[in-house]
Amino acid sequence: MGKTEVTVALMRWASRQGLNVTGMKPVACGCVPTDEGLRNDDALRLLKASPILLTYDEVNPYAYESPISPHLAARMAMRPIDLADVAGRCRDLERRSDGILVEGIGGWEVPLGEGIRVSHLARSLGLPVILVVAMRLGCLNHALLTHEAILLSGLECAGWIANDMTGCMANLEANIETLKSELSTPCLGVLAHRNGDVPASGEGGQSSRFYWLSDDEILRRLRG
């Protein structure tokens, strides 16, 4: 959870480093009908944050109205998700920018259709994976299992980001330190709730959120 917050923060951070990095949310469920078609709030945020002019369909090619699992939403809409199509669209955005951040949907093994899951989409794109960890009870088990699954898929896990969604997790810092010691990939940042002012080095966001990044590490990985 919090993938859009992380994606937008990374896009804005990249802009400050002189990089035009675009965002893409290939699949979105629970979209709202509008005069211009189905629209998703998260995808609209990525569109607004884009450093280059894009259409909505370029950011979110598979939009579904039903707020259910994507494989069920695609079945109801009779519009299956085509991994080759997503990969082609992704490559096009890559050619037009300095890099691309592709936001997943749900978890690593969420079904997208008959015999395909989010993990298959990631493999079809071949991009390094950033794991977003929702900091709450149970996150250690979830993060360790997901991290292991990413590595077993043959993809690079570029790092992980802690998302302190509520600002009230008990022993937050201790849990983050545990993940730092247990995961073999670096912590790239913390997306957190804090009371008071946002530090000058942080990235402002909604309510009291700010963003911190391990600059050298993430810059190296964004530039490949």
Catalytic residue set:
25
Adjacent-strand bridge partners of 190:
162, 212
Spatial separation of the C-alpha atoms in residues 107 and 45, rounded to whole Å: 20
Could you give the C-alpha distances from 37 to 31, 52, 68, in angstroms and in order? Answer: 9, 22, 19
Distances 88 to 67, 133, 158, 172, 216 between C-alpha atoms, Å: 26, 28, 22, 40, 30
Tell me the pairing of strands 111-113 and 32-34: unpaired
DSSP type of residue 97: S
> Bridge-partner residues for 23, per DSSP?
101
Q: How far apart are CA 116 and CA 119, in angstroms?
A: 8
Calculate the CA 205 to chain-centre distance.
16
Quick one: 155 exposed, middle or buried, by C-beta within 10 A (0-12, 13-18, 19+)?
A: middle
